[in-house]
Structures are given as C-alpha cells and as structure tokens.
C-alpha cells in the first residue's frame, strides 16, 4: 500500500514538473509581435498629380529611427541615397486597415522640399518625443551620404509642438561644436522639467556630446575618452555580410530623476562592447562639463561580451530597465539598472531572430509602457541590395512587462515559497498524525528538495538557452 502511494506521488510530481517546464517554455521571452512590416516604403500623397511629380526611388528609402507619441508612430527615413521624398513621416496607430501602411510626411510635404532656399528638414536619423508633447528632431542636414554628399548647413535641432505640429524652435549647432568628421545620429532628452529641458546629441564621427539647454537656448560640447570607439570592436558580420565600423558615441539613455534632481545618462559608442554612465549634474554644468577635471565622474559599468556591439538604447523609467540593440547578434537585449554589475549574465534577451531582427536600428518605450523596436536590414542596404520581394523593414512591439518576463530583467520576484507549498500539498494530500505518515513525510520532504533542485537547475539551464 505504501509503495503504491509513493508511485502515485512521483507520478503526480512528474506531471507537475513537466507542466511547469512546458508553461515556462511557452512564457519564455522573444515575446514581441510584428506590428508593421514593409517590403518597400510608400507614402500617402495629397493627389495623383503630387504623386506623379514626386521623385521617389523606392530602393533608396529605408526607415531608421522611430518614436511613438499618443496615436502616432513617427519614423525617420534618412537621405542615404537620392530619391527619398520625405525624411520624417508617421503612421496612425488607430488605423488598423493595413500592416504596411503608407507613411504621411511630418509636419508637411512642404517641410521636405529640398528646392526651398532653406529646407526645413533634410535628413534626421533619430527623434525623441518628450513628456511635454514636443518632438525633438536631430537633423544631420546631409543629403546623399552614400553618394555625392551635400551639406545644407550645420546639424540642427528642430522642436515641434505635437499638439498642433508647429515648429517651436530651430537651433543650429554653432561651428565650434561641429567638427569636420562630426555625425550626429542619436539624441536623448531629459524632460523632468518642461521649462528646463536638456537634449543630448551624440557625435559618432568626432566622438563628443553636445548638450542643449532649452531654457538658455544654447549648447556646449563635452569630450570624454569613453566616447571613443574601441579599436578591437566593430567587426560586424550579419547574415554573411562582413564590415567594419569605427563609430564613437551612439547609444544614449536617460534614467528617471535621481534624489539629487539629476538623471543618469547611460551611454556607449557603437563600436564598443562597454557600457558607461554619467550624472547629468556633470553634463548640465557648462563650466564643469567642458573642463578636463570631470574624468572620474564618468563610470564604467561593464562589458556585454563578444559581439556585444550596441546601437540604439532606451531606458524605461517605470521599470528602470535599459533596452538596447545588438546588431551583431540579431537581437535586442536588456539590463536592469538596479543591478550592481553589468555582465554577460546580468543581461536578458528580449528578442533574437535572424529574420525579424536583422539589424535592429531603434528602440523606444512609449508612455503606455509598450516597447517598440525597428529592424531594417541596414547592412544589406549599405553593402548589398535590398530585395523588394522580401519583407525588409519591421516594427515589433509588446508591453514591457511581457517583453522582460522570464528574462534577467524580470521585475517580478519568483514565487518560490509558493512553489514549495504547492509541492508540499501534492506530497501530503491529507496529513494524518500517525508515525508512519511522519516517516513518509520526511522522506518525501527529501524527495521534494531533490526534485526542486532538479527543477531549479532545469529552469536555470533553460533560461541560459533563452539568453544571449
Ligand atoms: C572579423 O569577423 C570575421 C567574420 O566573423 C572573422 O572571420 C575575422 O577573423 C574577424 N576579424 C578580426 C580581426 O577579428
Ligand atoms: C559648476 O561646477 C563648478 C566646478 O567646476 C562649481 O564651482 C559650480 O558651482 C557649478 N555650478 C553649478 C550651477 O552647480
């Protein structure tokens, strides 16, 4: 009788563990869904005449940066090559008619007219919508970068009011802050105070950071060793295409306000596997930011490990999780800023795929706590040719909580005591106070720990597989 009971218990346990493992497998990360996808980008024209009169070379249009504000998803379409009719556009998130919608130029077709004496927008790479309803557009103002490049002037910041799409401000970087190799491809905005907002523009070509004060309508340039590319990093191989990049400061992510009233800026050069941080207290003080005494105020967090070169990054202020792209690994990963160490192990894998995540190029979290990722096969666009029969561009999304579930960035604590209770219930369905059942209880307790240990190991191994 005793023997049969033990067998039944083991059977139950077996099923239970099997169930947990299966459930875990289903719930395991890579938990983003493709919301939009395009083979080629189409625009929405006012009429047929406009469409016929617009020069649009579909092979040359590639989406690079993204941002979400209320019901609009904004996309930058830099002018790498000729025939890009508008370099900033949006789609309506409420329009569910198409998974490949035509894009609407922002703020208007006219703003993108390069025949104008002083075109409003030339070629922005990344944009940022702040919590005050302003869209910050970092415009390189260089057309046809991969061909016969033309500069329309120094890089500029355009700030739009998203309530009415009016241009609030146009700030052209002064000559002293633009070097001959400068290329400003990424921006972060510290919007804790709408009247005293700061924008941070990363210079990847001549490694540096331009800090812009909204209140004082002025900017200054910061230099630090950590903005430079690592000569031992930047050897990329993506789907068989090998190339080398030596890009400096690129990934910029702003934390929420710290007790001292300042945020932390998490940053990395593109051609580097290291992550760094600095308090904006250092950057916002023009005198101190420009001095060479600030060297030790910049912190080294750690390395992402081999092939851990990273492009765009974004910090979700609600969970404190840093998200970043890993082009060399066809992945988007995460790191909890509450972690002490930044190591290979402390990173979580959000999504990895050699089809859906071919060159992840931008990452954002909107005010509804949804993560958005854009992948665009940039390596094929630059070093080969995009096939118009393939899906080339994708936008993936998920709620942040679902995206980080079961990864190293999960903010929910694992309900292990609860699990022990459940196992206990199974082992001792109806506890009877006899000595025989006590004996059984102690041996089953031992069995429980053995099995629990096995389960934890399995789960650990499994999560290892899920990771990068
Ligand atoms: C660069 O990457 C390629 C492909 O992985 C590899 O064959 C080559 O050895 C690498 N070069 C260096 C200098 O690491
Ligand atoms: C800026 O930093 C300098 C030190 O270089 C310090 O003397 C000054 O008080 C700081 N200014 C502000 C506004 O914090």
Q: Among 45-54, 429-438, 439-448, whose mean pLDDT is lowest? A: 429-438
Nearest CA residue ID for atom 6, ligand 2: 288
Q: How far apart are CA 30 and CA 351, in angstroms?
A: 4
Residues with CB under 6 A from ligand 2: 285, 287-288, 291
Percent of the chain at pLDDT above 90? 79
Three-state DSSP state, 279: strand
Q: Which pLDDT belongs to residue 412? A: 83
Q: Calculate mean pLDDT across residues 162-172.
A: 98
HSE-CB at 162 with a 13 A cutoff on CA atoms is 20
Ligand number with the minimum distance to the CA of 286: 2
Of 360, 346, 438, give the one whose Cα is nearest residue 395. 360
Structure tokens, 194: 């709408």
User: Which ligand is nearest the CA of 243, by number?
Assistant: 1
Residue 251's alpha-carbon distances to 185, 186, 202, 269, in angstroms, are 9, 7, 8, 6
What average pLDDT is seen over the chain?
89
- Could you report the per-residue pLDDT of 372-401, keeping only the tens digit for each? 999 999 999 999 999 999 999 999 999 999
Closest CA to 2 of 428, 436, 427, 432: 436
pLDDT digits (tens, 9 = 90+) for 44-91: 998 998 898 899 999 999 999 999 999 999 999 999 999 999 999 999
The angle at the Cα of 67, spanning 306 to 226, to the nearest 5 degrees, equals 40
pLDDT of 151 higher than 50: yes
Mean pLDDT of 89-101: 97
Tell whether the model's pLDDT for residue 416 goes beyond 70: no
Which of 16-25, 99-108, 232-241, 250-259 is predicted with the least confidence, judged by mean pLDDT? 16-25
The protein residue whose alpha carbon is closest to atom 2 in ligand 1 is: 235
pLDDT in the model for residue 84: 97
| CB within 8 Å of 248: residues ≥ 6 apart | 202, 203, 204, 205, 206, 207, 208, 227, 228, 229, 269, 270, 271
* Residue whose token pair is 């506890």: 431
Nearest CA to ligand 2 atom 7: 288
CB 122 within 8 A of CB 111: no
Q: Which residues touch 251 (CB under 8 Å, ≥6 apart)?
A: 186, 202, 266, 267, 268, 270, 310, 311, 312, 313, 324
Residues of each domain in the chain carrying CATH 2.120.10.30: 33-404
**pLDDT, position 27:** 43
**What spacing in Å lies between the alpha carbon of 264 and ligand 2's midpoint?**
18
Average pLDDT value for residue range 166-188:
98
Q: Quick check: helix, strand or coil at residue 419?
A: helix
Quick check: 442 pLDDT over 90? no
Statement: residue 419 has pLDDT above 60:
no
Q: Which of 238, 241, 242 to mutate to test the pocket of ligand 1 (most atoms within 8 A of CB)?
A: 242
Question: Model confidence at 441, in pLDDT bands (50, 70, 90)?
Answer: low
Task: Give the closest residue (by CA) to ligand 1 atom 9.
Answer: 235
The Å distance, Cα 331 to ligand 2 centre, comes to: 41
Residue 109 CA from chain centroid, whole number: 29
DSSP string covering 37-82, please? EESS--B--SSHHHHHHS---GGG-----EEEETTEEEEE---SSS
Question: Could you tell me if residue 216 is left (phi over 0), alpha (psi between -120 and 50 degrees) or otherwise beta?
Answer: alpha
Q: How far is the CA of 358 from the centre of ligand 1 (A)?
A: 19
pLDDT at 304 over 60: yes
Per-residue pLDDT tens digits for 271-296: 999 999 999 999 999 999 999 999 99
For domain 33-404, the CATH superfamily is TolB, C-terminal domain (2.120.10.30)
Query: Ligand 1 pocket: which residues have CB below 6 Å?
Result: 235, 237, 242
For residue 260, give the ligand nearest its CA: 2
Distance 281 CA to ligand 1 centre (A): 40
Alpha helices in 264-388 (DSSP H): 280-284, 286-290, 378-383
**pLDDT computed for residue 264 by the predictor:** 98
User: How far does the centroid of ligand 2 lie from the alpha carbon of residue 183, in Å?
Assistant: 29
Q: How far apart are CA 357 and CA 129, in angstroms?
A: 24
């Amino acid at each position: 009788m005793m023997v049969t009971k033990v067998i039944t218990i083991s059977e139950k346990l077996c099923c239970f563990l099997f169930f947990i493992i299966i459930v875990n497998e289903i719930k395991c990360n890579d938990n983003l869904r493709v919301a939009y996808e395009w083979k080629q980008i189409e625009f929405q024209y006012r009429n047929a005449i406009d469409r016929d009169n617009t020069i649009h070379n579909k092979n040359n249009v590639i989406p690079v940066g993204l941002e979400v504000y209320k019901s609009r998803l904004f996309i930058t379409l830099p002018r790498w090559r000729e025939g890009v009719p508008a370099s900033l556009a949006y789609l309506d998130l409420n329009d569910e008619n198409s998974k490949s919608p035509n894009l609407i130029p922002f703020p208007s077709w006219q703003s993108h007219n390069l025949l104008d004496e002083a075109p409003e927008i030339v070629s922005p790479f990344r944009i940022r919508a702040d919590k005050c309803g302003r869209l910050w557009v970092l415009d390189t103002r260089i057309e046809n970068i991969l061909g016969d490049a033309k500069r329309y002037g120094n890089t500029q910041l355009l700030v739009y009011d998203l309530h009415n799409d009016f241009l609030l401000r146009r700030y052209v970087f002064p000559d002293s802050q633009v070097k001959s190799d400068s290329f400003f491809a990424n921006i972060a905005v510290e919007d804790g105070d709408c009247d005293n907002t700061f924008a941070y523009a990363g210079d990847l070509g001549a490694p540096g950071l331009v800090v812009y004060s909204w209140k004082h309508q002025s900017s200054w340039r910061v230099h630090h060793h950590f903005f430079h590319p690592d000569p031992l990093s930047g050897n990329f191989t993506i789907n068989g295409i090998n190339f080398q990049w030596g890009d400096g400061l690129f990934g910029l992510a702003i934390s929420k306000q710290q007790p001292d009233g300042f945020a932390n800026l998490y940053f990395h050069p593109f051609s580097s596997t290291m992550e760094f941080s600095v308090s904006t207290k250092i950057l916002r003080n023009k005198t101190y930011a420009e001095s060479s005494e600030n060297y030790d105020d910049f912190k080294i967090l750690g390395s992402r490990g081999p092939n851990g070169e990273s492009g765009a990054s974004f910090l979700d202020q609600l969970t404190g999780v840093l998200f970043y792209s890993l082009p060399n690994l066809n992945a988007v990963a995460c790191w909890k800023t509450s972690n002490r160490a930044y190591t290979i192990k402390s990173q979580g894998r959000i999504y990895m795929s050699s089809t859906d995540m071919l060159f992840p190029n931008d990452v954002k979290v909107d005010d509804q706590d949804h993560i958005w990722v854009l992948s665009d096969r940039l390596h094929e666009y630059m070093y080969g040719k995009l096939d118009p029969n393939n899906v080339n561009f994708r936008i993936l999304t998920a709620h942040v909580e679902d995206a980080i579930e079961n990864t190293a960035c999960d903010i929910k604590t694992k309900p292990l005591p609860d699990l022990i209770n459940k196992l206990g219930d199974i082992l001792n369905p109806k506890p009877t106070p006899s000595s025989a059942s006590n004996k059984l209880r102690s041996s089953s307790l031992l069995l429980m720990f053995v099995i629990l240990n096995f389960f934890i190991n399995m789960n650990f191994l499994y999560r290892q597989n899920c990771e990068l």
